[in-house]
Structure 1
Amino acid sequence: MMRRHLSVALLLACCACAAGPGDPQEKCRAVREKVHDCLVDYCATSGDDVCRSVSTSERSLFADDAAAACAELDGRAVDDLLASDCSLVVETMRESLSGKADAPCPPYLPWCSATRGEGDGYEVRVISYDWTRATLEIVLRDLRLEGVVQGGVEYERLSIPGEGTTTTVGAPAVPVVNLLVGAPPDASAAVVTGLRTLETQSFEELLVWPYQRPARETDAAPEFARDAASYARTDPWPGGAPRVDPMAVWRNYKAVRVQLQPVRYFPAQRRLEVARRLEVEIEFRLDGSNRDVIAEGEASFAAAYDEALVNYEALRELAGPAARDGDHVRYLAIVADPLAEAVEPLLRLKEEQQLRTKRTLLGEILPERSGDPNADAQKIKDHIRAVYEAEGIEYVLLVGDVEELPMYRESVPDSWEPVVGDFWYACLAGDDLLPEVAIGRLVGKTPEEIAAQVAKITAYETGDRFAAWRQKVLLVAHRQDAPKKYTQCAESIRTAAYAAPASFVTLYGHQNHTNRELLDRIDQGVGIVNYRGHGSETAWTEWNDEDFVFGSLPSANGSLTPVVFSIACLTGRLEIEGQTLAEAMVQRPEGGAVAFLGATAPSWTLPNHDYDRHLFRAILDRGIRPIGKLSNAAAVELLTQWGFDRNAAENVKMYFWLGDPSLAVDVGLPPREPVPIGWCNTQHPQALVDRADVPAVDVFGQVWVEGLTEPPGQGPFLYVQVGYGPAGTVPVPVAGSATPAAPWVWTGAHFNLDAGNNDEYAARIRVHEPGEYSYAFRVSGDGGRTFTYCDIDGSDNGFSPDRLGRATIDPRPTLPVTNAALSWPATAATTAGAATGDLRATLALDPAAFDERLVPFVRAQIGHGPEGTLPSESADWVWSEARYQKESDGLLTYTGKLTPVDPGIRLFTFRFSQDDGATWIYADRDGSANGLALDQLGRLTVNPAP
């Protein structure tokens, strides 16, 4: 019997169709519901790749954007999908997951929204900081939900972007916020002395996903864990006070990690309470000493401090160390005696780069070997610490074979082998894992092996830092569970918004790329090769069903030597006989890699994902370029997020650099000279009709730069924006003026695809006021200092106001309200000055015209007033903002609390506005459709305070 498949091309077809006048939103919701229902039914009895790899949805609790993916769906393809049997839908999903599909991932397939980049989930504001305490305000910006089906049960996986969760296996995994707070130099401890919740929001009917047993990359998937007793509890989870870790030393500053719990879950009631804003006061315990903190190097570590310490600016103003006068040693090389001459050209280069260098022969530290690698390692560390305390060094290079210059070995629980690495050498002050110096090593037994590595490093560091190939990043991902897991991690890196541009090229194993393609990409030149997946001592294992073993195929990248991030197990396990993958790439005399970041042991999966993201954020957001400081900054971010005990800490300890720790990554550098823009245009559409605040139409522009846009992928150094202004105006300055005649608003565009020799970019124009507008693209080749403006027929014949895109922006539609009702309770009681429990109201909408993107524009308030008064007529009512909870079939639920000041009887209700309070719809118990009645308002008894 012939099996029939819905082709992925058919599933994709509806993404390209323009929205018609009928019911695209309704059909879109029907498609998503169909896919969702098919998944739930299928995964109730199956555990194959479809069920392991997909999530039913991802959305924000604060501003649900699920409908954005459906904005343009319509057409016969949707009807075909809706009419299909579930077995056919599941088979189509399997086809998409297998990588056989040539087209992009359809937006309504549930896993396609899970690869978006992540922004900051919260903001920290320093209210005050002095020698004794810090007061901080935390504003929660995002709380995300991802639907997960397990055994036919639907859970919600909660996350605050970039943060961790509670870690009790089998109990609900509730997000937490972790802060690294700078402390005075004589602080010995810190305690939380005050915690105030300033704004809360509640959500009902959420079954939160349980925390699962962590797994290393080499482990089989652990058995699903759900603790019945944890889900039966009626008290909030997590309970208890904020966690404060011991005081730590991070080179120039003291710091303490504080874990807050803004999210509380009531498992039995399936209710979530979220502190949207809270204030925390931290008191420092001072012991009068300034031990361990040094003065040197603060400026060169400032970007890392600014990223990790939430109060860095205030800390620096109050307690910033002043560097000692005079020159000091910044670079220490510890060299096996026979290799000293071979490494000398690199050390001379360091001094030319203004890194004063100290050379120490290994024989001076270890005249005799003890037979205990850790005892020898301790003597090496003692020497590093002595030079650090005397000179304030920033970098340490170890040169020699690992048998002579040992790594530190640390036993860990539940593992048959120790964690081995160089990170231990970097932690010189305090009893903590915050690193004071950056460590790298060159491995070799002979002067010739070291000389070859030194020659590559020297060529790289004296080469053209602004070469186009150095701006490119090759993202390689293992095929397992794609498009989730490793591919999802790589996509989160590629799609994140960064302060500096980078040109990403992808090779994902599930898309049937070959080892030859991987080597060809490296041979063409890339600044960074980032691999995320499984590894062994000698290979990236079965990333595309085959092992990638460097040297098994010829390669010829010559002087185009990348920095490699190998975020995988074991690829740096130097203790084996023969070459590791790290050594094979770095020790190759010509070509290969100039530096390699790898692990010595099996590493933990989820911390690896976050570590990889932190590496790129440090480069592209903070401009931290020396590789040793870059990995240290990522390690501090990971430890702050995950904590200093176990999984993340083990990962941090096992990753190390083969290479010069001061070598600078050049991805994200602005061009040395402005890149001349050869040609650009506003491609299509030439005219559009859209809606204020909730745009649904993509606009596209193209750019050509000779030598940059012709190769595959995004061309480097290009900064592309789309902008709009009043119809008939132009964004370029008029004669005799430095500014345009009319203001234009600009926003960044993202790389979309290769279009012949051009690069195509896409964006949406978000306009707040209805009206007629002109729009166009512009391109900068010098980091935004100057722009080439791009009209419809291209920039080669000038920029003409009559050749701009034309946008008609209609008013933002309002949601058609059919009823507003005070749903629960009819009566309530509280004490004067104390808050009530949650009160609830609903807003009923026409389901046929419902658009989720408009929900954030509904303003809801809860109020109370004197007996005998109507809220629509009396000025004596007191109002406060209510909170949106959920939507079901066009019914919006809101909650709020009241805190009356005086005893007595008060009436209460809710009101709703879609024009920011210009007009209101008032709710009562039998609904707004028949008008507002006194006897249908809520009744509140306010008892005197005791």
Structure 2
Amino acid sequence: MHIISLPPSNEIGIEKMGVWDKINMDGCGYLLSLGKPMMPLKRIFIELPPHAKYNGIEFSAGERIEIKGTYHIIPSPEIILPSSIEKTEELHEEWERNYLNAYSSDKPYPGKIGKVIGFFTKGDKNYVIVDVYPFQYHPLSQKLFYYKHIDVKICYTNMLPKTKRGGESYDYIIITSKNLYDAITSTDFIEWKSSLGYKIKIVNVTDDLISEQEGKDLAQKIRNFLRNYYEIWGIKYVLIVGDYTTVPMRYCYPYGEVPTDAYYADLSFSDEKSWDSDGDGRYGEYGEDNPDFKAEVYVGRIPTNNIEKIKYTLNKIVRFEKDSGEWKNAALHAGAILFFENQDNSEYPFVDGARGLNAIEEDFMDGWNVSHYSEQEGIMPSLYKWNALNEEAFTNDWRNGKYAIVNWEGHGAPSGVSRLIWEWDDGDGVPESGSEIRQPSFFNTYSNVDDDYPSIVFAVSCNVGRPEPDEYGNLGIKMLTDPTFGCGVAVLSATRGAAVSAEFPPYSGAEGFCYYFNKYIIEKNASVGEALYEGKFEVHSKYGWEHYLEYQNLFDYNLYGDPSMKLLLNLPNVEIIEPDNYIYAFGFKLLPFFKPLIFGKVIVEARASSDTYKIEFYIDDNLKYVDETPPYQWTWKEFAFGKHEIKVVAYSENGKKAEDSIEVLKIL
């Protein structure tokens, strides 16, 4: 039995937002269902015993407490699909229907206290992913209730451990075809990655390791190969070399068809129990199939069959990783208007693409050199007074500058991205597509850029990563693989339409993916593959929509590039592993909690990379202890009360440093 203890009701923050009330709770995200009350949720990971087989789950709740007063809980924001005015209008109508149905009823919302989201494996540990809902709201009477704790009982069967095969170990797998094998091995890529400590194995799609797997098609055989070997070999990264015809993407069906490589990352269960659990051959159907989106391995792709372009791309990645110049702390941003207020009588709010980029700058890029552009033309320009966005200004800056990261938001197509300008009004005060709104490109496959300092690119745009050929070229593929263009060294982009939230925050949709991707590569020095998959999962966990467009976005965003590539190498890695989200009493770890709750002393432990020579332990930025030998530990015995920050700083032998921090509650 796992008891999820929650903070006392007097620590719950209820923020007034005009006529609405918003519940704020530390460590929680939100249940976001179009038009319905925006209620906190807590996602937890419950470790199963070694070799256990999950059989089921039971939820029960502690005392249900009414919070005094009446509350008008804010509804979940609307969703916008910039690529389709018609679909956006349908989404608005769906929001209105849900809003009227939810707020005219007094049924408790949500109507459940928890549910299983999925499963994942980390190292030799298996986890169940669970959401719990601490509150229930009665919209008509405006009453709000709260559970002091929620009990979760996991049912499982103990199984025999898996048999190890031959002692082989490969943490980096390259999947390709025989005719592309020599293109890979003739570059500096294998030697370089091996020098970083990776154990690499190249597997051709026709090799027995894949061809003898069970599967209805090649994609399923590849996934079954990875499922059978990722734990045994310790696979962390998978690089696919070849386009979607050589190594297939899995076409999924949340709304239309969406090609994705995420199918090869989420390996928890067989297709029959996850990606196609209803057995109809249509993968990834929202509400019918059950991928959990927690990556067991991180996947990237070099999306071309052209041998010279493969060589060029792999060598460019090596060149980028070897370069540790100051330009690695520089970023270029372009934020176009995504939607005008009441555009086409939609009643939607103003959606300025600069809003998400501004949040990234303020939260993660302190001390960086940032050049940024926003829409400065027309009747309704950007709220952010940045440089005026146009193709000449943006591409000249990119070509002549040195930027490790390029983030943009704008309307997308396979061959380019564009702005929205409300040029004139016929007198009704309504921005009207076609007649009053102009949509010029600010970057496309014919733009004048080069690869002198290629960038990690995150495109908050529809279709930039579309894998199928387009008559005007494929922008995401060209940025990575074309030697005459080549401005990207990793491209994070959507294969189909990318949906965004009408409000930001909450950090939902494609903008949320971009925000958390930048957080991971900047603050945590994560690889681009880890940053994409962990960033997507964090958004899904905290701010995911209960809607088919949530699935579409999660399938949509893929990595063209090397999943193990980092912004900067030679930085130590450090992570606080104790205390975790539990209650601790005088050195003993007791029950799961929404954040570490500590009574008395506690052991603080950090895990660090092998090149670390010392770790400093801080409480609220005050140095407390230095440990120079693993395991890196310090016992916090001092009296303290309330919220405090534990921080660790790791130093490597080459003079680099990295840090990690957590917030804890301490009593005594």
Q: Between Structure 1 and Structure 2, whose CA radius of gyration is higher?
A: 1
Distance 2:412 2:370 in 1: 22
Distance 2:239 2:550 in 1: 25
Structure 1 residues 177 and 601: alpha-carbon distance in aligned structure 2, compared to 1, 3 A threshold: same
**Equivalent runs, 1:335-734 vs 2, <5 Å:** 335-344=176-185, 345=187, 346-364=189-207, 375-412=217-254, 415=255, 417-430=256-269, 431=274, 432-433=291-292, 434-464=294-324, 467-481=325-339, 484-496=351-363, 502-509=368-375, 510=382, 512-523=388-399, 524-542=401-419, 545-558=439-452, 560-578=453-471, 579-589=473-483, 591-606=486-501, 607-624=509-526, 626-641=527-542, 642=544, 646-666=548-568
**Equivalent runs, 1:784-863 vs 2, <5 Å:** none
Structure 1 residues 252 and 605: alpha-carbon distance in aligned structure 2, compared to 1, 3 A threshold: farther
Deviations 1:342-400 (Å, cap 9, x if unpaired)?
211212222222111112233436999xxxx9712222323333442542221111112
Aligned position for 2:139: 267
Aligned position for 1:104: none
Amino acid across the alignment from 1:424: Y
Distance 1:213 1:441 in 2: 33
Q: Residue 59 of structure 2 contacts residue 113 of structure 2 at CA under 8 Å; is this kept in 1?
A: no
Structure 1 residues 235 and 388: alpha-carbon distance in aligned structure 2, compared to 1, 3 A threshold: closer
SS of corresponding position for 1:338:
helix
More strand by share: 2
1:421 CA displacement: 0.9
Larger displacement relative to structure 2 (326-335 or 528-537): 326-335
Amino acid across the alignment from 2:362: T
Amino acid across the alignment from 1:584: K
**Equivalent runs, 1:729-740 vs 2, <5 Å:** none
Distance 1:629 1:508 in 2: 29
Distance 1:285 1:273 in 2: 29
Q: In the alignment, which of 207, 225, 241 is matched to residue 72 of structure 2?
A: 207
Q: With structure 1 as the length reference, what TM-score do the two structures score?
A: 0.47
Amino acid across the alignment from 1:255: Y
Structure 1 residues 526 and 144: alpha-carbon distance in aligned structure 2, compared to 1, 3 A threshold: farther
1:659 CA displacement: 0.9
Q: In the alignment, which of 202, 208, 216 is matched to residue 81 of structure 2?
A: 216
Aligned position for 1:718: none
1:600 CA displacement: 0.8
Distance 2:523 2:390 in 1: 32
Aligned position for 1:329: 170
Distance 1:657 1:619 in 2: 14
1:515 CA displacement: 2.0
Q: Does 1:175 align with 2:40?
A: yes
Structure 1 residues 212 and 272: alpha-carbon distance in aligned structure 2, compared to 1, 3 A threshold: same
Deviations 1:104-158 (Å, cap 9, x if unpaired)?
xxxxxxxxxxxxxxxxxxxxxxxxxxxx54554457866464747xxxxx54566
SS of corresponding position for 2:554:
helix
Aligned position for 1:188: 54
Distance 2:538 2:468 in 1: 29
Distance 1:491 1:179 in 2: 30
1:290 CA displacement: 6.1
Distance 1:623 1:639 in 2: 21
Q: Residue 416 of structure 2 contacts residue 445 of structure 2 at CA under 8 Å; is this kept in 1?
A: no
Distance 2:658 2:520 in 1: 21
**Matched length:** 499
Structure 1 residues 330 and 540: alpha-carbon distance in aligned structure 2, compared to 1, 3 A threshold: same
**Equivalent runs, 1:907-946 vs 2, <5 Å:** none
Q: In the alignment, which of 130, 135, 153 is matched to residue 258 of structure 1?
A: 130
Amino acid across the alignment from 2:458: F
Aligned position for 1:854: none
Q: Residue 364 of structure 2 contacts residue 522 of structure 2 at CA under 8 Å; is this kept in 1?
A: no
Amino acid across the alignment from 1:565: F
1:471 CA displacement: 1.4
Q: Residue 258 of structure 2 contacts residue 552 of structure 2 at CA under 8 Å; is this kept in 1?
A: yes
Structure 1 residues 146 and 480: alpha-carbon distance in aligned structure 2, compared to 1, 3 A threshold: farther
Deviations 1:431-461 (Å, cap 9, x if unpaired)?
4432211111112232112111122112112
SS of corresponding position for 1:172:
coil
1:273 CA displacement: 4.4
Q: Residue 366 of structure 1 contacts residue 379 of structure 1 at CA under 8 Å; is this kept in 2?
A: no
Amino acid across the alignment from 1:349: W
SS of corresponding position for 2:530:
helix
Distance 1:264 1:273 in 2: 5
Distance 2:132 2:232 in 1: 38
Q: Residue 522 of structure 1 contacts residue 557 of structure 1 at CA under 8 Å; is this kept in 2?
A: no
Distance 2:482 2:496 in 1: 23
Distance 2:247 2:521 in 1: 30
Distance 2:7 2:567 in 1: 33
Distance 1:451 1:572 in 2: 21
Aligned position for 1:242: 114
Deviations 1:484-541 (Å, cap 9, x if unpaired)?
553322222222269x965544322335322223223323111111123331111123
Structure 1 residues 182 and 138: alpha-carbon distance in aligned structure 2, compared to 1, 3 A threshold: farther
Distance 1:668 1:332 in 2: 22
Higher RCO structure, 1 or 2 (CA under 8 Å, sep 6+): 2
SS of corresponding position for 1:225:
helix
SS of corresponding position for 2:62:
strand
Deviations 1:37-75 (Å, cap 9, x if unpaired)?
xxxxxxxxxxxxxxxxxxxxxxxxxxxxxxxxxxxxxxx
Q: With structure 2 as the length reference, what TM-score do the two structures score?
A: 0.65
Distance 2:529 2:46 in 1: 23
Aligned position for 1:279: 149
Q: Residue 190 of structure 1 contacts residue 244 of structure 1 at CA under 8 Å; is this kept in 2?
A: no
Distance 2:55 2:241 in 1: 38
Q: Residue 395 of structure 2 contacts residue 443 of structure 2 at CA under 8 Å; is this kept in 1?
A: no
SS of corresponding position for 2:478:
helix
Unpaired stretches in structure 2, ≥5 consecutive residues:
275-290, 341-349, 376-381, 422-438, 502-508, 573-620, 622-644, 646-654, 660-668
Distance 2:134 2:227 in 1: 40
Distance 1:367 1:246 in 2: 26
